[in-house]
Amino acid sequence: MATVWPESLRCLMGKAKDIQVKFISKKDADRVVKRNHYSGKVCNNSQLNFGIFYEGRLEGALQFGPPIDRRKVIGLVRDTKWNDFIELNRMAFSDRLPRNSESRAISICFKLIKKHYPNIEWVLSFSDATRCGDGTIYRAAGFVLTQINKNNSIIRLPDGTVTASITYTAGKSILKMGGAAKVPDGAEYLNGFQLRYIYFIKPEARQRLTVAPIPFSKIAEAGATMYKGIQGLKAS
C-alpha cells in the first residue's frame, strides 16, 4: 500500500524543483521507508526503488512492485497483460524535503518508468484512510479514483502493534487460521476507509478502464476524508 505521512514541518526555503530522483537499491529504500513511513514497515515485493535526494542527502523513497494478487486487479483495465501494470506500494518523505516534493517526485518516477519499462501502462495504488490520509497527493498527481471501501481489516493489538486482522505476527510466525483471522483478546478494530487510485502512464489505456471513475467529491460524501491521520480533516 502506497501511503505517506505528511509532516507539519517542511523545508520552507527550498523548492520542489531542487530535488533529484534516482534509482536506488531496495536496501537503501527500505531504510528510508522504515524511518519515514507512518507504518514503519516495508513491502517485501518491491522491485523498483527510487530515492529522493535533496542537498545531496537521501530524504525520501518510492517503491513499486507487483500487487499481492494480480488476478484481483488486472481486470480493472481491459486487455492488460500480466506485466503491463505495477503497484506503488510505499511512499515516504522526510520533513526536510520542500513542499510539493511528493507530486514532483511521482511525476519524475513515472517518466523514468516510461523510459526504462515501456511495457508498463498503468500504476495502481491504495490510500489508507484508516491511519494516514485519503490520497491528497495522488489527486494532485493526476491519479483516477476508482474505489472507496470501508476498511474493517486493521486491528491494534494490546501491545500497540497495528496490523491486518487476517494475519498477525507471533514471534517470527505469521498465523493464518483457515483464511480468517484469530483476533487476540484485547485487540481493537480500527474504523476507516481504503481508497483505490490508478494512474495511466499511457493515456490511451484509460479508455480501457472497466470501472467508472469516482468524483473526488464522493470522498467527503462517504465520510472517508482523512489528512495527517485525522479523520474528517482535509488538506489545506
Classify residue 168: in a domain, yes or no: yes
Domain count, the chain: 2
Q: Is there a single domain that holds both residue 134 and residue 179?
A: no
Q: Is there a single domain that holds both residue 96 and residue 176?
A: no
Classify residue 3: in a domain, yes or no: no
Classify residue 88: in a domain, yes or no: yes
Q: Is there a single domain that holds both residue 169 and residue 73?
A: no
Residue 177 DSSP class: B
Q: Is there a single domain that holds both residue 70 and residue 170?
A: no
Q: Is there a single domain that holds both residue 167 and residue 222?
A: no
Report pLDDT digits (tens) over 36-68.
998 888 888 899 999 999 999 999 999 999 998
- The reported pTM is 0.83
Report pLDDT digits (tens) over 149-196.
998 777 777 777 776 665 544 433 333 434 444 667 777 777 889 999
Strands (E) in the chain, as ranges, are 20-23, 48-54, 57-65, 85-93, 122-129, 144-151, 154-156, 162-164, 168-170, 173-175, 188-189, 192-200, 226-227, 230-231
Q: Is there a single domain that holds both residue 121 and residue 182?
A: no
pLDDT of residue 60: 96
Classify residue 50: in a domain, yes or no: yes
Summary count for the chain: helices (H), strands (E): 4, 14
* Other beta carbons within 10 Å of 100: 15
Identify the residue with better confidence: 91 or 10: 91
Q: Is there a single domain that holds both residue 126 and residue 24?
A: yes
What is the span of the domain harbouring residue 217?
A: 16-150+193-231
Q: Is there a single domain that holds both residue 163 and residue 141?
A: no
Classify residue 7: in a domain, yes or no: no
